[in-house]
Amino acid sequence: TPYDTWQGRYLAPISVTCAADQPCVVDLPEFTSDMAFHIRSATCCKERPTGYGPTPAPQPAVTGSKSPLGVSVWAPVAGFLEQQTLQQNADVLDEVNFFWYTLGANGAIEGGVMAAEAVRVARAAGLRIVPSIVNGGFDAQRVSAVVNDPARRAQHIADILALVDDNDYDGIDIDYESLNPDDRDAFSLFIEELAAALHAEGKL
């Protein structure tokens, strides 16, 4: 269905208990095969059920080095359910990306902390906090206007550094989508300059 039709529709929370040796199936009778939906929040078991798919072969232990892989979770709202999910799964997570900020049409960063309690929960669990910035409406032009202008690009980087420092974040996640192909070099330069500035302060 069109975005403006389904974006406001929410189902009541669904709790499912699965047998250890059986796959988990959730029936959503309200949805049909021609409809799209997304799961706003989900909490899953941490143990792989037996008898469901092939069992992976045991891998030899690696000593002397830390795995380069990590687990990050995207939290678009960070309301009660997301906070609960963070608490229940903190031991298998490394990072949380709160989806709170937008690159505005004038090049300024819009938005703010939408759930201070979620930040507290994440910090208490020892998770890295790396919020996301999205180009509002996936508008390519507002990104193009920033990355192709040296002065505006430098200001945007300064704004991001201030956002990270003022909120004691561990870094920033740039989620600029549907960009103009012609902006590839300018956008790459923006990312390189932003990374250098963040890394100089020990940020991601």
The mean pLDDT values, 10 residues at a time, for the chain of 204 residues are 39 59 61 53 49 57 63 75 79 90 95 85 92 94 98 98 97 97 98 98 96
Q: Give the pLDDT score at 5.
A: 36
The secondary structure of 74-131 as a DSSP string is EESS--HHHHHHHHHHGGG--EEEEEEEEE-TTS-EEE--S-HHHHHHHHHTT-EE--
Residue with tokens 């029936």: 27
How far is CA 25 from each of CA 14, 18, 19, 28, 102, rounded to the nearest angstrom?
12, 8, 11, 10, 36
Q: Give the pLDDT score at 134.
A: 95
CATH homologous superfamily of 69-200: Glycosidases (3.20.20.80)
pLDDT in tens, 104-152: 999 999 998 887 888 888 899 999 999 999 998 999 999 999 999 999 9
Amino acid at 200: A
pTM of the predicted structure, to 2 decimals:
0.66
Q: Give the pLDDT score at 165.
A: 97
